[in-house]
Amino acid sequence: MDHFDYRDGVLHGEDVDLTSVAEAFGTPCYVYSKATLARHFRAYTEALGGHPHLICYAVKANANLAVLGLLARLGAGFDIVSVGELERVLVAGGDPAKVVFSGVAKQENEMARALEVGIKCFNVESRAELERLDAVARGLGKVASVSLRVNPDVDAGTHPYISTGLKDNKFGIPVDEAFEVYRQAAGMDNVRVAGLDCHIGSQLTELSPFLDALDRLLALLEQLRDAGIEVEHLDLGGGLGVPYQDENPPQPFDYATSLLERLSRWPGSERLTLLFEPGRSIAANAGVLLTRVEFLKPGETKNFAIVDAAMNDLIRPALYQAWQAILPVDTRQPRETDTYDVVGPVCETGDFLGKQRRLAIAAGDLLAVRSAGAYGFVMASNYNSRPRPPEVMVDGDRMHLVRRRERLEDLWAGETTLPDDAMAGG
């Protein structure tokens, strides 16, 4: 459930009329609901009840400082994939001791900074990375806590670009090699085995792949235990899907209940802390992208609604053919309904936000693209020299600008023209 609803024909985010957000900050504009973010986060913590757990929100889904700060205050840990994400977490007031570091190619400087601030765990994705981490930790006189990210070779049944747990994906250590790599880790002086990790993909709408992955991890844990290698936590990654259209993904409660049930058959499981790295299921439906219709352009074979947001602002439809609901914000004026491709101003045929949508709209109307709180702003670019949109967080009847609209001069702030002498040759 989220907090974006129509009241008297006008779409609201919590108690804020979204037309007033557009008036205050212009369009395109991202709007997040604080209550929805908090609700989605608590769905996880409540579902896990008394079982030891840590919810490490996947920063990549929405890295705005206001989002991170809110979740930090609610007790969240964070899953990061770069030193940039780490610094964001620290600036937002997150606790480094609750940070896990994922990603296939952590740089030495990134490892060093994470060791310096004392993160909870590195999710190591290869033998080479383990060796690099041991060396970096040795250089700093530190011991790095590690989990190996195991690739359990299960089909997550999701879009191929966001499926990560199959053998032919670049992620993780193949499950049958993991035991040997654990043995190597256990023998290293500057590495401490802390956990076992996997992440099999994103936007999963069924429980069975998660349970299959868990079974494979438990078999490995058994083998490790027999070899005298104990782990303190099991990190099951993120991946729980959200309803974009008519999907009916499991709720965090169903997800956690089935996992806990499966886990309870494993001796000693009550001492195993469960970590999750949810991103989308916390942030996606906590956000919308507001955009204004510039022109309605009737065509011979189809009609276009040309809006002021584009693929550079929200790339999911163009990149994954993702479907996101598009709603008129103010439905009080009578309008004729027609079928439109909702497209942006960018010079690409792939620049669309939605295709074949039935909409009752006129030029100048405000639209909301739903489910835009995750993998929205974070994937935005400046393509076509378009400044990135502002981000606003609504909270009850208040709205807070949590990132201002980029200015044109921000776009070239790091650039220079060639010096005159370099131009001499023409």
Contact call for residue 278 and ligand LLP (CB under 6 A): yes
| Radius of gyration in angstroms for the set of CA atoms belonging to the chain, rounded to a whole number | 23
Contact call for residue 61 and ligand LLP (CB under 6 A): yes
Residue 268 near residue 221, CB atoms below 8 Å: no
Indicate the annotated binding residues for substrate.
280, 316, 320, 348, 375
| Residues near 75 by beta carbon (within 8 Å), at least 6 away in sequence | 45, 55
Contact call for residue 151 and ligand LLP (CB under 6 A): no
Q: State in angstroms the smallest separation of the CB of 113 from ligand LLP.
A: 19
- In the bound state, the residue with its beta carbon closest to ligand LLP is 238
Q: State in angstroms the smallest separation of the CB of 198 from ligand LLP.
A: 9
Distance CA 261, CA 258 (A): 5
Distance CA 23, CA 149 (A): 46
Q: State in angstroms the smallest separation of the CB of 234 from ligand LLP.
A: 14
Contact call for residue 68 and ligand LLP (CB under 6 A): no
Contact call for residue 316 and ligand LLP (CB under 6 A): yes
Beta strand extents in 18-159 (DSSP E only): 29-33, 53-58, 77-80, 99-101, 121-124, 144-151
| Residues near 176 by beta carbon (within 8 Å), at least 6 away in sequence | none
As given in the structure block, the two tokens for residue 163 are 């499926």
Q: State in angstroms the smallest separation of the CB of 395 from ligand LLP.
A: 23
β pairing state of 303-307 and 273-276: unpaired
Indicate the annotated binding residues for pyridoxal 5'-phosphate.
239, 277-280, 375
Q: Which is nearer to ligand LLP, 55 or 136 (CB)?
A: 55
Amino acid at 61: A
Distance CA 124, CA 234 (A): 14
Of 106-114, 278-286, 325-333, 359-367, the window that binds ligand LLP (rule: CB under 6 A) is 278-286
Q: Which is nearer to ligand LLP, 222 or 247 (CB)?
A: 247
Task: Report CA-CA distances (Å) from 107 to 81, 82, 101, 115, 348.
Answer: 11, 9, 12, 12, 35
Contact call for residue 77 and ligand LLP (CB under 6 A): no
Q: State in angstroms the smallest separation of the CB of 284 from ligand LLP.
A: 8
For 228, list phi and psi in degrees, rounded to 5.
Answer: 80, 15
Contact call for residue 162 and ligand LLP (CB under 6 A): yes
Contact call for residue 238 and ligand LLP (CB under 6 A): yes
Residue 369 near residue 322, CB atoms below 8 Å: no
Contact call for residue 279 and ligand LLP (CB under 6 A): yes
Kindly state the helix (H) or strand (E) to which residue 179 belongs, with its residue range: helix 175-186
As given in the structure block, the two tokens for residue 234 are 């099991």
Q: State in angstroms the smallest separation of the CB of 111 from ligand LLP.
A: 17
Beta bridge partners of 366: 292
Q: Which is nearer to ligand LLP, 204 or 224 (CB)?
A: 204
* Total site size for ligand LLP, rule CB under 6 A: 20
Q: Which is nearer to ligand LLP, 276 or 340 (CB)?
A: 276
Residues between 180 and 219 that touch ligand LLP (CB under 6 A): 199, 202-203
56 given a catalytic annotation: no
Which positions lie near ligand LLP, rule CB under 6 A? 58, 61, 79, 102, 162, 199, 202-203, 237-240, 277-281, 316, 320, 375
Q: Which residues are tagged catalytic?
A: 347
